[in-house]
Amino acid sequence: MSEREIGAPVYLAHRGRAARYVPGLLQRERELMIDDVPIHTPPDAVFVCEALAAAGRRYRPSQVAIEAREDRWLIRLPDQRLAWLARSALGVERLRRERRVLRLIEQRCSFEAPRVLFESADGDLDVRSMVPGTADPWRFYAEVLDSSERASRLGAAIGAMLVEQHTRIGAADVTPWLPRRPSWPEAPDWIRERLPRVVDDARLIARAEAVIDAYENVVVEDADRVLVHTDIGFHNLGIDGESYTVRGIFDYDGAACADRHHDFRYLPFDFARPEMLEAACSVYEPVVGRPIRRDRVFLYNAACAVTFLAFRAGHAADERWCGRTLAEDVQWSRQAIAKAVPLLGRA
């Protein structure tokens, strides 16, 4: 078991002035306050070090790196540690929910996931250990494109971890507090409003809408509802760069009590290369006793591709938004739709 501490409420200093993090504001957003004026700018390193010192963890400003995340700040620390600081009421809820998932995984699964080392009393701040290994998605993507053996090895490792996650943590453990629908893909109206602002290809838009309609009409059996990560891919795996051993999974912010197929939807990393998906399924299916329907995996992949395409609204064609240019997002959407459309009605 990891060391855990429950700390006192955190009082902070920001840009040289006394500040406090206010948990009881009667408004949607929780905000950091100076002289009763909310702060919307990112916290600087001095501020972060003060927060961590109040948690009993001391760092120099030069040792921390701060990145914005939805409703939260990610703080990179030395010694394979991360801290998370909420920036809104929703951020607090997200951190608390993810910590519950991480603790279940620590208690019941053998693979590595972030371990919660500290949690503030009001839930705004925590410190976690990182999953060992290298997180370099584009490197591993390029390398498995060149090696069926590596793709199969990674797929088998993912399948083995999903066996544990999907069988050792029951739906009853998470049903009361995890959503029953993943946050991605987005809702149909959200997608339909944005797609014409991104592409002017009427046929592509029509086929994309057909995919989203099919996704919305999938009926999920209760037996297929499990704790799903929903975003398993090269970007959320800790991989040993020498041996290609998968050490673990991180970023459970999007976890849900939903269809098990969502944890396989990004494994078709190249539609001409099925090795990773097939290796994962070959390990998973005999143990779990439930089939992974390829038609549903491809439908979910296409629905995600379409959502990413719609998410580009307002961004330049050459901007690598979510890691891809417009041309690359269009290519993924076309290929995923072409794979999914012939199977519509079967998923």
**Domain coordinates of the chain in residue numbers?**
19-129, 137-343
Give the position of tokens 């890691």.
Answer: 323
pLDDT digits (tens, 9 = 90+) for 152-177: 999 999 999 999 999 999 999 999 99
Q: Which fold has domain 19-129?
A: Phosphorylase Kinase; domain 1 (3.30.200)
DSSP character at residue 13: E
pLDDT digits (tens, 9 = 90+) for 320-340: 999 999 999 999 999 999 999
Would you place residue 38 in the very low, low, confident or very high pLDDT band (cuts 50, 70, 90)?
very low
Phi, psi of 43 (to 5 degrees): -70, 145
Cβ neighbors of 101 (< 8 A, separation 6 or more) are: 174, 178, 227, 252, 255
CATH architecture of 137-343: Alpha-Beta Complex (3.90)
b/e per residue, 2-13, with b = 16+ CB within 10 A?
eeeeebeebebb
Would you place residue 51 in the very low, low, confident or very high pLDDT band (cuts 50, 70, 90)?
confident
